[in-house]
Amino acid sequence: MEIPKSSFLILCLFGELFGLILFLQGFLPIRKSIPGSSSFSDIPKEPSPGDFTEKQLDLYIHDLEMKSWQKTMSNEQNSREDKLPPVDPVIGRTVIMLIDALREDFVFGQKGSDNMKFTRHLIDSGQARSFIARAQPPTVTMPRIKAITSGTIPGFMDVVLNLKSGRLVEDNIVSQFHRSGKTMYFFGDDTWLKLFPDHFQTSDGTTSFYVSDYTEVDSNVSRHLPVTLVDKRWDVLILHYLGLDHIGHLAGPNSPLTGHKLQEMDEVIEEIHNALNQQEPAHLPTLFILCGDHGMSDVGSHGGASNHEVHTPLVFLSSAFDSVTEGNNYPPEVQQIDLAPTLSLLMGTPIPLNSLGGLITELAEDLLPPRAVLRAMQINGHQLAGALHRHVPDIKSESSFELYQQALRLHSRWLDMHKNGTSYGPIDTMTDKVVDYYSRAQSAMQDRVSSSLAKYDTFAMIFGIIILFQVFFLVWYALYQSSTTPIEGVRFYPLVAGSFSSIFLFCLALTVTCHFVVCTIPGGRCSDLLCSLSVVPLIRAAVGIIFCAGFMSLLLGYLIRKPFTRLGHVSPFETIGAKGLVVGSLIHTASLLSSSFDEEEHQTWYFLSTTLLLLVLLELLSLLGRKDAERIPWGIIIITLGCLILFRLQRSWNQTGIKWAHMPDVADWFMRPEHKLYLTTLMAFSIIIMYLFQLIEHEQMSVFYAAGLVGAVLYRNATDSIDLMLPIPVSHKGIYEAWFTYTVAMALLGRAVINFLGIYSSEDDEDEEPYKDAADRLDLQILPEGTSPWECRPSRAATDFYQAMLVLTVLLLRPHNTAVVAVTVTLQHCIVVYLLPWLQWSPWKMTLLFVWLGQSAFFAQGNSNSAATVDISAGYVGLESHHLVLAAILTSIATFSGPFIWIVRLIMCFSNRYSSRYYHAIQEVSLTLLICRALPIAVYTLMVFFQRYHLFIWSVFSPKLLYEGSHFLLIFCFLIFLQFNVIIVQYFQNSKKGSPKTI
């Protein structure tokens, strides 16, 4: 049986996509929380000696079960009135000032001493209580707001949900404040208004994703302060400032703009603090909280797990504090989720139902008497015990719960001592002991529950892995067959004639049986994704079964007749470079099994690419010993050495990864404000190089290409990134310059699509004479003699597509990275024009070469496997407001521009070099590109499955998995488009042989 290669590729692409999505859904489920809200009705009484019998312990655990069951009922069913707060509130009005991306060293470090002098004065003089709050990854805004308000640990899927925030349905302090009748005002990031609709009596939101604005976004908040601070009606005031985060994305933490913004925030803090102190004393003191949602990496982004991203300041200011000199000691560390239960207990509201936070004891001891402190810790421990009971099978056997029981026993003894009037010395010692036990129990229960939060759908994960490995083996077989046997399709060998249908029915029955057994196994946990009887899971299961059975039947149909051992009889790996490509690809795949290699993957690609260029040099040198050695000029050897030097320069441009990302690099020098002239010169020189190499290859001017490059330079000049020192009028934030460049790029892309899809009359083309040589049409590069016009369409289209990608890349990347693009263009020119003609490599080898160098270019631009290196500012180049889809597309282009430029250059090369057999060459390229994604994804998902409880699963493995998925999605779209192009070209070939046809 022979399947057309286009059909086979499309089938494998959709199979790979389905398998990857199924695995990700099982691995990254949206965390489920208990619905409803907490109340004071289920708070236990203070402990007594009679509470610690076995019978009372069973009753306590039964109460925890009832608490979980009661909260699943509707509010009407569970409408019993709350009791009075078990701890009398000690805080009245509260101001929460959240500064987005406020790193802890921006307050407690040297930057704080230089730029936040008023705040540091309050901290150093003991008028504040300061802490370092640790946030859990992912460090992006919406999950961090959820964590702060609900005390929960958001899942990694919240990174995706961050793009479109919806109402927060689980219990949180904002809803508790609203339910208790507190009047709340809010100004700032409109994410709060989406999470908590109808909760604020007065509000004014600003768009958080438009990162080009770092002035008005904060002015819109501060303008409300003069009126709001003298308003007596509000109980809770929440302010969320975004400017610092936007500056980080645009210019980084070391930009002068960062210092100016910190000074501005310090002035706002002083204004609020002075206004609160001048107000008449209220029944309860006012609390002013300064915090950050997440930090900022050394390059200005966030989302990862580095110390600068997860550590934020948490400062409490109140007239209730006694002045205590903290000295030069660094503030203690707490969890960011600790803020929710702490505020709840101090303000007299119930702790959010799903909270995993703990009471900040240092703060509570400053504001509460000893008995109230212990009572508050008991209530918080009770909350955590309920969460522990919901997530572990046997709470009695848990060491953390036993520690909590010991704390309750000590608490009971303390109450007896307090009742009997024990002197202050012994009771103070006992107080410290009880607090210590409660703190240890609180921490232990937090850790135990946190480690059990990930509820993986293992059946969906295994099902996805099976499909991914099936696709890999099928594509590997098809690629091997394509490189050794010149056939039109992918040929499978049945055992007997017509037996494929029998094999498919057998595989279908086997797959359905396995699925039924897994979903109905006694005592097994049913898969919500594949075993539920609702419509979507049934459709998902049916599609998965068909894919799995179909791929299995193809593999079995071949394996029964021709085992894989037969493939070793003919080897296409006949050259040094080819062997290096195969071995290097396997080495890279194996390196993914190590978390350290995942964090520093750029080192693997740099090593492999350098080694490959050395192998190319050795292969060229080996040709010198042959009889035709006089045909190989030494200039080719020199050019190869030049490629090695250029590659070394490219890899030194940006430090990336985790361990050495903070080290200075070439880009840092150009980004200094005093070196703007050098940066301008660098960008101009890079643009000239990029244009000249295209001019040399095509020997004619491309007006669109030149206009696009000039537009990108003018945009950077308008945004003050560079200084052309010319009297050129500029638009506000470079809006017009950017859209001019977009227009040019879209014109090039439109022309490319027209050529790719053949939207020209074929009759006109067939009337023309074939091109005798390259002099007839210089823009087609070197084409074989006799090439007809319709065969040149892929060449014209690939060239336009390539130039459009270069224009967009230069526009979207930071100015210093223009040099990386220029080096990439230079390397491509040297390899395509000078090296490949002598190497005479087959399409799959050339594809692997370009894929390797593309991966190196990805990291050379400063990217890594951490979400922190995603430059979201690229998604807002030329935009005046937030557009989700457009911003996502632009950010994806900027992030993966390195690999994509190399892939497009590869297609451009093949459309010129193999125009007469474009179909076969492009299909071999497509198979190679697919296997370059299928192999690492299959192996990595298998590794993630076995390492799903690893310490670094969320900080290292999950971001890498999302990068692999995003990269594959781009390759998927590109290959699907390419297959349509191949079908069009085939149509022209067939129409040329037959009667003229028109598309």
List, in order, residues 6 or more apart from 143 with CB less than 8 Å away.
154, 158, 159, 162
- Peptide bond preceding 426: is omega within 30 degrees of 0, i.e. cis? no
At 160-212, the pLDDT tens digits run 555 555 688 889 999 999 999 999 999 998 889 989 998 999 999 887 655 56
The answer to whether the CB of 102 falls within 8 A of the CB of 246 is no
Task: Give the Cα separation of 609 and 648 in Å (integer).
Answer: 10
Task: Give the Cα separation of 656 and 638 in Å (integer).
Answer: 30
Q: In terms of Cα–Cα distance, which of 421, 540, 378 is closest to 26?
A: 540
Residue owning tokens 């958001």: 154
**Quick one: pLDDT at residue 493?**
67
176 against 158, higher pLDDT: 176
Which DSSP state fits 483?
H
Largest CA-CA distance found in the chain, in angstroms, rounded: 111
Average pLDDT, the chain: 83
Q: In terms of Cα–Cα distance, which of 798, 784, 788, 803 is closest to 754?
A: 798
Angle at 392 (CA atoms; ends 387, 394), nearest 5 degrees: 115
Distance of CA 588 to the CA centre of its chain: 21
**Quick one: pLDDT at residue 125?**
86
Task: Give the Cα separation of 244 and 296 in Å (integer).
Answer: 10
Q: In terms of Cα–Cα distance, which of 238, 239, 189, 187 is closest to 213?
A: 189
List, in order, residues 6 or more apart from 156 with CB less than 8 Å away.
28, 137, 138, 954, 958, 962
Residue owning tokens 């609702």: 534
b/e per residue 850-862 (b: at least 16 CB within 10 A) = bbbbbbbbbbbbb
Which backbone phi and psi does 61 adopt, to 5 degrees? -65, -35
Strands (E), 51-196: 94-99, 128-134, 184-189
Which tokens go with 653? 């441009």
Percent of the chain with pLDDT over 90: 42
**Quick one: pLDDT at residue 628?**
53
Is residue 683 very low, low, confident or very high in pLDDT (cuts 50, 70, 90)?
very high
Kindly tell me the burial class for residue 730, based on how many C-beta atoms sit within 10 Å of its own C-beta (0-12, 13-18, 19 or more): middle
Which tokens go with 61? 């655990």
Which tokens go with 427? 């009771």
Which tokens go with 851? 């894929």
Kindly tell me the burial class for residue 107, based on how many C-beta atoms sit within 10 Å of its own C-beta (0-12, 13-18, 19 or more): buried
At 332-383, the pLDDT tens digits run 999 999 999 999 999 999 999 889 999 999 999 989 999 999 999 999 999 8
At 242-256, the pLDDT tens digits run 999 988 887 788 888
Distance of CA 933 to the CA centre of its chain: 18
Q: Give the 3-state DSSP-derived string for 612-666, with helices as H, strands as E and coil as C.
A: HHHHHHHHHHHHCCCHHHHHCCHHHHHHHHHHHHHHHHHHCCCCCCCCCCCCCCH
Per-residue pLDDT for 67 more than 60? Answer: no
The answer to whether the CB of 697 falls within 8 A of the CB of 829 is yes
Task: Give the Cα separation of 176 and 347 in Å (integer).
Answer: 11
Task: Give the Cα separation of 811 and 390 in Å (integer).
Answer: 52
**Quick one: pLDDT at residue 692?**
93
Which backbone phi and psi does 969 adopt, to 5 degrees? -60, -40
For helices 535-561 and 500-520, angle between their N-to-C axes, nearest 10 degrees: 130
Is residue 391 very low, low, confident or very high in pLDDT (cuts 50, 70, 90)?
confident
At 262-291, the pLDDT tens digits run 999 999 999 999 999 887 666 788 999 999
Q: State the amino acid at position 799 in one-letter form.
A: T
Element (DSSP H or E) covering residue 956: none
Per-residue pLDDT for 570 more than 60? Answer: no
Task: Give the Cα separation of 543 and 561 in Å (integer).
Answer: 28
Distance of CA 211 to the CA centre of its chain: 17
Q: In terms of Cα–Cα distance, which of 848, 837, 840, 839 is closest to 899?
A: 848
Task: Give the Cα separation of 107 and 782 in Å (integer).
Answer: 62
Per-residue pLDDT for 155 more than 80? Answer: no
Per-residue pLDDT for 765 more than 50? Answer: no
At 841-872, the pLDDT tens digits run 888 889 999 999 999 999 999 999 887 788 88
Residue owning tokens 């084409």: 783
881 against 925, higher pLDDT: 925
Residue 445, SS3 per DSSP: helix
**Quick one: pLDDT at residue 792?**
56
Which tokens go with 507? 């595989």
Average pLDDT for 642-651: 93
Q: How many CB atoms lie within 10 A of CB 455?
A: 14
414 against 482, higher pLDDT: 414
**Quick one: pLDDT at residue 574?**
55
**Quick one: pLDDT at residue 959?**
87
Element (DSSP H or E) covering residue 287: strand 287-291
Distance of CA 503 to the CA centre of its chain: 42
The answer to whether the CB of 650 falls within 8 A of the CB of 860 is yes
**Quick one: pLDDT at residue 421?**
72
Element (DSSP H or E) covering residue 354: none
Residue 180, SS3 per DSSP: coil
**Quick one: pLDDT at residue 208?**
60
Task: Give the Cα separation of 941 and 646 in Å (integer).
Answer: 35
The answer to whether the CB of 479 falls within 8 A of the CB of 12 is no
Distance of CA 291 to the CA centre of its chain: 24
Is residue 97 very low, low, confident or very high in pLDDT (cuts 50, 70, 90)?
very high
897 against 32, higher pLDDT: 897
Q: How many CB atoms lie within 10 A of CB 631?
A: 9
CA distances from 71 to 35, 45, 152 (A): 6, 20, 17
Bridge partners, residue 184, by sequence: 236
Average pLDDT for 493-501: 63
Distance of CA 89 to the CA centre of its chain: 41
Q: How many CB atoms lie within 10 A of CB 874?
A: 23
**Quick one: pLDDT at residue 565?**
41
**Quick one: pLDDT at residue 739?**
94
**Quick one: pLDDT at residue 244?**
92
At 731-743, the pLDDT tens digits run 888 899 999 999 9
402 against 34, higher pLDDT: 402
Among 15-19, 570-574, 820-824, the least confident range:
570-574
Average pLDDT for 574-598: 85
Which tokens go with 620? 């060229």
Is residue 795 very low, low, confident or very high in pLDDT (cuts 50, 70, 90)?
confident
Per-residue pLDDT for 984 more than 80? Answer: no
Task: Give the Cα separation of 758 and 767 in Å (integer).
Answer: 16
Percent of the chain with pLDDT over 70: 82
For helices 370-391 and 424-451, angle between their N-to-C axes, nearest 10 degrees: 20
**Quick one: pLDDT at residue 237?**
96
Task: Give the Cα separation of 139 and 963 in Å (integer).
Answer: 16
First to last CA, the chain: 31
**Quick one: pLDDT at residue 390?**
81
Sort residue 657 into left (φ over 0), alpha (ψ -120 to 50) or beta: left
Which tokens go with 214? 């770092």
The answer to whether the CB of 82 falls within 8 A of the CB of 350 is yes
Bridging pattern class, strands 311-318 and 287-291? antiparallel
Is the four-CA dihedral 488, 494, 499, 504 of positive or negative sign? negative
List, in order, residues 6 or more apart from 695 with CB less than 8 Å away.
701, 702
**Quick one: pLDDT at residue 827?**
95
Q: In terms of Cα–Cα distance, which of 697, 888, 692 is closest to 795?
A: 697
Per-residue pLDDT for 951 more than 90? Answer: no
Cα within 13 Å of Cα(876), Cβ side? 19
Listed in sequence order, the DSSP H helices in 256-330 are 256-278, 307-310
Which backbone phi and psi does 237 adopt, to 5 degrees? -120, 125
Which backbone phi and psi does 240 adopt, to 5 degrees? -125, 105
**Quick one: pLDDT at residue 5?**
86
**Quick one: pLDDT at residue 169?**
83
Per-residue pLDDT for 397 more than 60? Answer: yes
